[in-house]
A = this chain, B = another copy of it.
């Protein structure tokens, strides 16, 4: 992989070291032009015809599955098993509902306290709506394996912890779930584009993820959902929207689910966001995932070592080995202020309550020099207590 050439495919502002691609990926240079083309040449010229006949002969209507297949290649999913749309929250609801219907005699959804809150919130909302006495059982991440028992209908786990980067073993936990007759949902929000993922090898039942982090598709880019092929036609979608219907334009009075993954579509897809996603995915055609992972570990290891040496007041919050995703996190009592001071120096990471400083290492646009500079800035912020100023300490209340 030629990382220098790869970096040129992104627009990165001067004076910024961007270690937050795990939250919002930077702008791929080609995305701006691609969206312009979709707006001016497709929407502007084709108008309604754009749905069936795009500028390149393919209508927008087909984009959610075509882009789904492109994402599928990055997560080991076969053709026809991934579709793009909605938000990750909505996709959690969709697959969790589908899974519970496949296990009607069981009542436990097993998750862990490292899961991203919206996954837990959507599970709560679904449980209340079902009104069948389901239980959301939340255990510590390290206790998941022992908590899987025959009462569990489905495991709802995010592979990479959004705060610490700690990575679950997808294959072994899925196998364990299956051994107990449970289904496994994997949230790949911090996995897709971060490292090699193989949902097929892991035999995952469902996978979901977002495209605005490592995949760099832009703010509010849509989510994706994977359903293992043998399960697709057994799902009765609760979110039974017209574009998941077997014949959307027959305008039938009753819902009939579409074939395969099509039934996971709901409403009209966000074409402008999809255009940006399409351009962002072009970059991934040229990425060698094992090489990306090796370099990500190299860079995050370099950062970890540097910080460990120069910033003794930071406590590591991430595992310093292969079980970490493409990010490194540390704890500090004044983590919020420290991050604000660092951002003021142009080093952008992010803060996650209550005390986590989080840094993402995305080799597509970050190299050794940025890592070293970031360590140096962080060390200076801490040793001089630069963070201890009103403008950095003042924080919006989170009630």
Binding site for B on A (CB under 8 A): 11, 13, 16, 18, 20, 23-24, 26-27, 31-32, 35-36, 39-40, 42-45, 47-51, 60, 86-90, 93, 97, 113, 116-118, 120-122, 124-126, 128-132, 138, 210, 212, 218-223, 236-243, 245-247, 249-255, 266-274, 276, 343, 348, 350, 352-353, 398-399
Contact = CB atoms under 8 A, between A and B. Distances in A.
Given A32-B44, A120-B254, A89 B246 contact: no
B35 A47 contact: no
A239 B93 CA distance: 7
Contact of A266 (B60, B89, B221, B352): B89
Given A18-B47, A39-B35, A86-B86, A353 B272 contact: no
Contact of A251 (B23, B97, B117, B238): B117
A269 B60 CA distance: 20
Contacts of A116: 242
A241 B45 CA distance: 37
A59 to B, nearest CB: 10
A26 to B, nearest CB: 6
A126 to B, nearest CB: 7
10 contacts: A39-B218, A50-B219, A87-B241, A89-B239, A117-B245, A121-B241, A128-B236, A131-B131, A219-B272, A270-B272
Nearest to A125: B240
Given A122-B240, A125-B238, A242-B121, A87 B268 contact: yes
